[in-house]
Amino acid sequence: VAKTSLTSPPWPEVKLPDPVEEAKYHAEVVRKVNGLISAGEYGRLFAVVHFASKQWKITNEDLIMMDNVLEAECGDRIRMEKVLLVGADDFTLIGRPLLGKDLVRVEATVIEKTESWPKVNMRFWRRHNFQRKKIIVNPQTVLRINTIEIYPCLS
Amino acid sequence: MVVLSAARWVRSRLSDRFWRVQEVLKYARHFRGRKNRCYKLAVRSVRRAFVRSTKARREKKRFLRALWITRIEAASLEHGLKYPAFISNLLKSQVELNRKVLADLAIYEPKTFKSLAALAQRRRQEGFLAALGDGKEPEGIFSRIVHHH
């Protein structure tokens, strides 16, 4: 068949590496990272956590403020379970979409439960004698992230 | 003698006019010109300021999302990927990081962002290969080239 403009796709041809060699390479990388984790040769860990319908990038000794109420008293320790990503200087563990609970542990303490500053909500239509003013005060919670720990159980 | 209401010639006059006026002027103290001192001008300015702040609170979300997208686009172009390719391939590989976190990673964790870009690039290539299929022509179809004489 003769060559037309549609015989070959418009993107450049790509060749994936050999699956057997790739599997060996992957196993090697996983072994190395497991070794690093079990030896404890990482510095500060950071994690991306899904909490209060938002995603946060957190490290140790971090402060987080949420714009809602948490059903925990001040001083309670909380474990955050939905971890999306954990990383250190040399390696990152990316979850698809979440990482296992036996792999990462993120602990936080509830520090403060306050209200936000009074925000003014005003609506006004000119020439229609319409104005409404409302003061909105949201409850807020402040958490301090105590620790992020990883355990060497990769496969 | 019990009197239930005041007589008609007794008027009630405002005694706390100063504080009512201060309630409005306190929000106008950082304005420019006479509207930070004169009540009549300040009332209008303060009202417009409140309305603008309520509307801005809704627009801030759109503005921040556009900012994150710009930053992610710049960072992914540094690694040789365009933004739509990057985001779509990340989602297809079941990595559900939102744009805020991706922008923060691009700024503060460049190595992690590079690995995410590599992941998206690899998923893109696998998608291209899957789209090509076997490379054989489907049955029952013949192709010929029309010659015009």
- Taking contacts as CB-CB distances below 8 angstroms, the residues of chain A near B101 are 48, 55-57, 84-85
Separation of alpha carbons B146 and B149, rounded Å? 10
Range 83-112 of B in CB contact (< 8 A) with A:
93-98, 100-101, 104-105, 108-109, 111-112
Separation of alpha carbons A109 and A120, rounded Å? 31
Q: How many CB pairs under 8 A join A and B?
A: 72
Separation of alpha carbons B117 and A92, rounded Å? 13
Provide the whole-model pTM: 0.88
**DSSP assignment letter at A23:** H
Q: Which two tokens stand for residue B107?
A: 């700024």
Q: Is B137 on the interface with A (CB under 8 A)?
A: yes
Following DSSP, what letter does each residue of A25-76 receive, concatenated?
HHHHHHHHHHHHHHHT-----EEEEEETTEEEEE-TTEEEEESS--SS-TT-
Task: Spell out the per-residue pLDDT of chain B, length 149, in tens.
Answer: 888 888 888 888 899 999 999 999 999 999 999 999 999 999 999 999 999 999 999 999 999 999 999 999 999 999 999 999 999 999 999 999 999 999 999 999 999 999 999 999 999 999 999 888 776 767 777 767 777 88
**Percentage of residues in chain A with pLDDT exceeding 90?**
79
Q: What is the pLDDT of residue B32?
A: 95
Yes or no: say if B119 and B90 are a contact pair by the CB < 8 Å rule.
Answer: yes
Taking the CB of residue B119, how many other CB atoms lie within 10 A of it? Answer: 17
What CATH number has the domain spanning B64-132? 1.10.1900.20
**DSSP assignment letter at A16:** P
Query: One-letter amino acid identity for A42?
Result: Y
Is the predicted pLDDT of residue A4 greater than 90, yes or no? Answer: no
Q: What is the pLDDT of residue B66?
A: 97
Q: Is B128 on the interface with A (CB under 8 A)?
A: yes
In chain A, what are the domain boundaries?
19-150
From residue A39, give the alpha-carbon distance in Å to each of A140, A143, A150, B32, B50.
40, 30, 12, 62, 57
Q: Averaged over A31-56, what is the pLDDT?
A: 92
Is the predicted pLDDT of residue A69 greater than 90, yes or no? Answer: yes
Q: What is the 3-state secondary structure (H, E, C) of chain B?
A: CCCCCCCCCCCCCCCCHHHHHHHHHCCCCCCCHHHHCCHHHHHHHHHHHHHHHHHHHHHHHHHHHHHHHHHHHHHHHHCCCCHHHHHHHHHHCCCCCCHHHHHHHHHHCHHHHHHHHHHHHHHHHHHHHHHHCCCCCCCCCCCCCCCCC
Separation of alpha carbons B100 and A56, rounded Å? 9
Q: Averaged over A84-96, what is the pLDDT?
A: 91
Q: State in Å, rounded, how far the first CA of chain B is from the last one.
A: 124
**Secondary structure of residue A22 in the 3-state scheme:** helix
Q: What is the pLDDT of residue A7?
A: 80
Q: Is A38 on the interface with B (CB under 8 A)?
A: no
- What is the ipTM, given to two decimal places? 0.90
Q: What is the pLDDT of residue B55?
A: 96
Which H/E stretch holds residue A117?
none
Is the predicted pLDDT of residue A73 greater than 80, yes or no? Answer: yes
For chain B, give every residue range classified as CATH 1.10.1900.20: 64-132
Contact yes or no for A57 and B101 at CB 8 A: yes
Q: What is the pLDDT of residue B10?
A: 86
Q: Averaged over A23-41, what is the pLDDT?
A: 93
